[in-house]
Amino acid sequence: MQKVQPKILPGFMELLPSDQILFNNMIDTIRSVYEKFGFLPLDTPVIEHSEVLLAKAGGETEKQIYRFNKGDNDLSLRFDLTVPLARYVAMHYNDLVFPFKRYQMSKVFRGERPQKGRYREFYQCDIDIIGNEVLPLVYDAEIPAIIYELFKQLNFGDFVIRINNRKILNGLFSYLNLDNLSADVMRIIDKIDKIGKDNVIEEFKDMNLNEEQINTIINFITINGNNDEIICSLKQNNIDNEVYLDGVNELETVIKYIRDFGLNESNFKIDLTIARGLDYYTGTVYETNLIKYPKLGSICSGGRYENLTGYYTDQKLPGIGISIGLTRLFSQLKEEKIIESTRNSLLDVLVIPFDDTYMDYTLKVANKLRDNSFKTDVYYGNKGMKQKMKYANRLGVPYVILIGTDEVEKNVVSLKNMITGEQEIVNIDNLLDVLNK
């Protein structure tokens, strides 16, 4: 019979069990940190009405969204978690407590051309804080505090949270009479890490910026020094623009608060080249990088937006949030060998009866272990002992319990430590104590 070739679509990731365990561990860590800071869980539908997801529409989103019809319904798969959040907040405005802090870790979909680090289905791990009418500036500092805690726990090595404020850049562009080009200029600045200063200058020339404008921008984004020195330079710039000055003040305040949160000074840094591609950010913006692995780019980024829900309601709901593209991050961490899978199974114990004539005894042991939260499996089937041991070995089970006629008669089990190879006879009443030590 002609077989169907087993295959999946490009740009979709699936993992072997050992990697899935690793991936889930990361999810668990992220969730626990998010919850530690008071974020509430949220899950929204994968499919939404196209008119909702495309309310803003235009540009790349529309080109990349998975959109289809079912009957008369025009439907789309969500391409991020922020737009569904906006819809959710607008829809449940009356039932939510503000500031509303929610986390969501789910799959999103983008019909892009897949390539390195670029997936069509991927996990985003988002947190957002939504205020009603206002959202105090302290939250702009809480976000880095969360990132800080998170990446300390994830333990991928030294990291730095780079911080900027859109108002500073927008104010500067306005001062240079570049208001209508600010989105393009920002996008180019954002690429400076990747393409270098010279190429940035080239791109500015292609945009017909004059020399003075280019020099001012380049001098500006290459301001150097520690956080206090940069703020000092920003203040002494004599850029007479209200938005600019507002941004500088915000940045200074945020930096102060970040220190109040107790972050290590080496883990956060003002970086005036951070712009973020997305156009909805209006204030503080963040990117996070691993110092030893600049190749990975930003592994966690986000920022503040003035009004999340403008397309759905008249309520003014400012917010701030970050997102981790976990699928990409995971694949990169694996590739760089920053993380490695070590286990093929989550089991603590595998119970192996020599044959199935004493299942009652075997299952009694298994039940006892499970009742005490040991992850336990039983090998059923009349294979040779060799096969059974091999199974245990391939799963990387730390302990094997062997049960045969002798064990049943004496009310004991043979407990084998698969790492050391040592084996001992343990009375069934002492089994938990022995395993716990």
Near RNA by CB under 7 A, which window of 134-142, 258-266, 308-316, 384-392?
A: 384-392
The answer to whether 10 contacts RNA (rule: CB under 7 A) is yes
Q: Identify which range of 39-47, 212-220, 357-365, 398-406 contacts RNA by CB under 7 A.
A: 398-406
CB of 360 to RNA, least distance (A): 16
Whether 101 contacts 129, CB under 8 Å: yes
Among 70, 97, 194, 198, which residue sits at the site for RNA (rule: CB under 7 A)? Answer: 194
Q: Is 70 in the site for RNA (CB under 7 A)?
A: no
Binding mask 76-115 for RNA (x = CB under 7 A): ----x-----------------------------x-xxxx
For RNA, which residue of 50, 124, 165, 273 counts as binding (CB under 7 A)?
124
Angle, CA 341 vertex, CA 400 and CA 334 arms, to 5°: 175
Q: Work out whether 283 is an interface residue with RNA (CB under 7 A).
A: no
Sheet holding 67-70, edge to edge: 47-49, 73-77, 67-70
Cβ distance to RNA smaller for residue 188 or 230: 188
CA distance readout (Å), 286 to 189, 256, 321: 14, 16, 9
Please report, as residue ranges, which positions from 288 to 317 form the binding site for RNA (by CB under 7 A).
298-299, 301
Nearest to 136 by CA among 175, 86, 111, 99: 99
Per-position b or e across 129-155, b if 16+ CB within 10 A of its CB: bbbbeebebebbbbbbbbbbbbbeebe
Q: If residue 295 lies in a helix (H) or strand (E), which one and from where to where?
A: none
SS3 246: helix
State which residue, 226 or 387, has the beta carbon closest to RNA.
387
Judged by beta carbon, residue 134 or residue 183, the one nearer RNA is 183
| DSSP notation for 27-65 | HHHHHHHHHHTTPEE----SEEEHHHHTSS--HHHHHHS
CB 161 within 8 A of CB 288: yes
Q: Give contact residues for RNA (rule: CB under 7 A).
A: 9-11, 60, 80, 110, 112-120, 122, 124, 187, 191, 194, 276-279, 298-299, 301, 323, 325, 327-328, 354, 384-387, 389-390, 392-394, 402, 404-407, 414, 416, 418-419, 421, 423
